[in-house]
Structure 1
Amino acid sequence: MTADLPLALYVHWPFCVSKCPYCDFNSHVRESVDQEAWRAALLADLAHEAALLPGRRLGSIFFGGGTPSLMPPETVAAIIDAAAGHWQFESDIEITLEANPSSVEASRFADIGRAGVNRVSLGLQALDDAALRFLDRAHGAAEGLAALDTAQRVFDRVSFDLIYARPEQTLAGWEAELGRALSFGTEHLSLYQLTIEPGTRFATLFEKGQLAAFDPDSAADLFEATRAMTAAAGLPAYEISNHARPGAESRHNLTYWRYGDYAGVGPGAHGRRCGVASLRRKKPENWLGSVERNGHGVEREDPLVPQERGVEALLMGLRLEEGVDLKRIGALTGGEPPLDPAALAGMERQGLLALDGDRLRVTGAGMPVLEAILRELVLA
């Protein structure tokens, strides 16, 4: 079923200048990186995935991290060229690279664009210096906005991230910051509430009583204001944390949320291909050694039983404003969608879910409590 849809390719670059205190991604700080060895290894890992997915059309490439804007542009170009040799590109293929908004990295944007990237996602995270210091970001507000200006001149498509529900942030303060963000005319915004993830420096501070969690009721107010303001500005939410002009949605991320096939290469990268879940070795040195020994960085490949595929498709798809097609979910499972009928009926009565034919979606009232809904609704 998913083999008829365009394939997506995720490429993980694991290195950062510093580790942010809220980040639980597979990112690492190293004094030096052997760029030639890493380019060769990424190309080998890519070739391994391509051999398992022959004849597919490629709809998107996403360079994530870590900080992929630290990749040499020639490495970016080599990966894009190799992907074009392995698969047929869609005519409107989306090629995104995540970037930190430092002046050093912004100076590479033109070269990255020439390498074939046509969309950049900037990790601005906040628009004032005090908040950026709290988040321990390596850039200041002015530097970040200068990088945004450069990005919008170089790339046809630009997105940026902001983190809200920060300690002591007020509703008025967030509305002012978001209003300023919307004034830049960017086509896509990713707006995330600050969460304290296990294993991060913020989690350590929280456990020591040195960092307070944001009040859930206040966070809900900020969430509602976010959706109202972005919708009024013409960038409605199409996923719980992502907002875009119609037609400017991230096609790569939609592949995940719509449960299409995607290949993942690089340290710690996940993939879903033809009903198999793949996972690469996480530590950069272990992944690199695996590629040198085996020609790929795969640590695990697990066939997904129909029930697992249905559960994953529901957990991903109900994040979207469009919801999910229950007929398609049933086709994945070979039977009924893995839903609790009593929970579904109760949540419909409460106005948290809406069922229209085979289309099930979470309502605006339900989105603030999405995680609770999924725990009760989906039969994992």
Structure 2
Amino acid sequence: MTSPLGLYIHWPYCARICPYCDFNVYRARGAESAPLVAAMLADLKAWRERLGPRRLVSLHFGGGTPSLMEPEDIARIIAAADDLFGLVAGAEIGLEANPMEVARFAGIKAAGVERLSIGIQALNDHDLNVLGRDHGRAAAIKAVETAQSLFERVSADFIYARPGQSLRDWQGEWQEALSWGLGHYSCYQLTYEPGTAFTKKAERGAIVPADDDLTADMFTLTQDLGAAHGLAAYEISNHARGDDQRSRHNQLYWTGADWIGIGPGAHSRWGRPLYGGRQGASAVLTPGGYIKGPSQTFEAVTALEDAQERILMGLRLKEGLNRASLRAATGHDVDPEALARFIAQKLLIDQDETVRLTPQGRLYADRLAMELAPAGD
């Protein structure tokens, strides 16, 4: 059976670079967008020739800040995707937006986007400034209200465990966000990635990261308060008001389905290791290099690598990781000794060959996944 296929479009430009960000992003300096859009459209055509007839279940504009794109360019890419591949009925078309581009929201809607994900991150001006955001509290609230009036599906992104943030601070902020009644929220722990400005500040003591106990308390609060408001986490960091509000595009990543990526630094995965071979591709990182082409570098994804990815991603889902499906797709299973150990520690349950995290296990999801993954030869 052919896997569902999604399309990711990476817009690499931002008005400013946030100090915690380690994504493949570049400061927008009035660069001409036409050559980049043209390169994306050419890349999309090459993907159609490479994969043959496949219909798309989702399109997602990420970045960077894709709400900086001209609505006409968004519409061109959506139309090209529909012309080349075809969109299934009810396909999810989503875009990540900065609150400062609220004036563009109506144009983005008219271009064909039906799901808007807004990068709120915080609800007080001090912390927004610390995070390097170019919007304030008032702009965040206006963006949410405007999006609710325009889009069928709206999501808001938040970051917790910020420097100096208390548990009470986050509780009040999360409660306020939940009162908006959105169908989806994404709440991420602030992480200090190598090479970022935040990590450099932390290393010299200019900022103090939240300690592990406080971070764990904030995570538990996020989970419990979300569930109490009808927004139980369907993935470690993502909360939806019912299955129809889930991010269908992100579920392609979490379930090991197929997706293709266009734009600088975008990644792709398609095929099956036991049935014709799973493949991967990475686009050239820099906008200039991507425009110049060739845009993609290809590689074979081994069955072992695919199993490791599926365990890392699938364990994060509420439904858990189905071991029979894992074996059917890759020929590999989870490590039995690690599984037994984590079950004994009440961090995992294994019921009907489906491995799920317990509430306590969710605190250690990435570490458990790494230890459950089969090792190479």
TM-score category of the 2 structures, normalised to the smaller one: over 0.9
For residues 83-122 of structure 1, what are the structure 2 equivalents within 5 Å? 83-102=81-100, 105-122=101-118
Given candidates 271, 283, 306, the residue that maps to 2:286 is 283
- Partners of 2:156 and 2:47 in 1: CA distance: 29
2:365 partner letter: L
The answer on 1:136 being equivalent to 2:132 is yes
The answer on 1:302 being equivalent to 2:302 is no
Partner of 1:208: 204
- Partners of 2:33 and 2:22 in 1: CA distance: 24
Q: Is the 2:235–2:318 Cα contact (8 Å) retained in structure 1?
A: yes
Partner of 1:60: 58
Partner of 2:275: none
Find the residue that maps to 1:331 and give its secondary structure. Answer: helix
Partner of 2:23: 25
The answer on 1:253 being equivalent to 2:250 is yes
The answer on 1:155 being equivalent to 2:151 is yes
Partner of 1:363: 358
2:342 partner letter: M
Give 1:35 shift: 2.2
Count of residue pairs the alignment pairs up: 368
- Partners of 1:113 and 1:51 in 2: CA distance: 29
Give 1:157 shift: 0.4
Q: Write out per-residue CA displacement over residues 3-28 of structure 1, whole angstroms, 9 at most, x where no aligned residue.
A: x2321000000000010000001110
Given candidates 177, 184, 188, the residue that maps to 2:180 is 184
Give 1:358 shift: 2.0
Long gaps (5+) in structure 1? none
Given candidates 304, 308, 313, the residue that maps to 1:311 is 308
Give 1:165 shift: 0.6
- Partners of 1:20 and 1:282 in 2: CA distance: 18
Give 1:379 shift: 2.1
TM-score (norm 2): 0.96
Partner of 1:220: 216
Given candidates 68, 72, 80, the residue that maps to 1:74 is 72
- Partners of 1:136 and 1:33 in 2: CA distance: 22
1:157 partner letter: R
- Partners of 1:83 and 1:361 in 2: CA distance: 36
Q: Is the 2:312–2:370 Cα contact (8 Å) retained in structure 1?
A: no
Give 1:331 shift: 1.4
Given candidates 9, 32, 38, the residue that maps to 1:34 is 32
- Partners of 1:364 and 1:244 in 2: CA distance: 18
Find the residue that maps to 1:107 and give its secondary structure. Answer: helix
Q: Write out per-residue CA displacement over residues 156-193 of structure 1, whole angstroms, 9 at most, x where no aligned residue.
A: 00001110011221111111100000000111000001
Please identify, of 7-16 and 304-313, the stretch whose mean Cα deviation from structure 2 is larger: 304-313
The answer on 1:195 being equivalent to 2:191 is yes
1:182 partner letter: L
Please identify, of 50-59 and 179-188, the stretch whose mean Cα deviation from structure 2 is larger: 50-59
- Partners of 1:301 and 1:244 in 2: CA distance: 35
Q: Write out per-residue CA displacement over residues 195-234 of structure 1, whole angstroms, 9 at most, x where no aligned residue.
A: 1111111011112121212100111011111100000000
Long gaps (5+) in structure 2? 272-277
2:36 partner letter: W
User: Following TM superposition, where does structure 1 have runs of at least 4 consecutive aligned residues deviating by more than 4 angstroms?
Assistant: none
Given candidates 337, 345, 357, the residue that maps to 1:342 is 337
Between the aligned residues of both structures, percent identity stands at 45
Give 1:240 shift: 0.7
1:321 partner letter: K
Please identify, of 194-203 and 29-38, the stretch whose mean Cα deviation from structure 2 is larger: 29-38
- Partners of 1:255 and 1:117 in 2: CA distance: 19
Partner of 1:273: 270
Q: Write out per-residue CA displacement over residues 263-292 of structure 1, whole angstroms, 9 at most, x where no aligned residue.
A: 0000000010111110001111111111xx
2:8 partner letter: Y
1:280 partner letter: A
The answer on 1:236 being equivalent to 2:232 is yes
Please identify, of 50-59 and 65-74, the stretch whose mean Cα deviation from structure 2 is larger: 50-59
Q: Is the 2:320–2:355 Cα contact (8 Å) retained in structure 1?
A: yes
Find the residue that maps to 2:222 and give its secondary structure. Answer: helix
- Partners of 2:49 and 2:141 in 1: CA distance: 42
Partner of 1:377: 372
2:368 partner letter: I
Partner of 2:166: 170
Q: Is the 2:307–2:373 Cα contact (8 Å) retained in structure 1?
A: no
1:373 partner letter: L
- Partners of 1:6 and 1:260 in 2: CA distance: 6
Find the residue that maps to 2:99 and give its secondary structure. Answer: coil
- Partners of 2:34 and 2:132 in 1: CA distance: 31
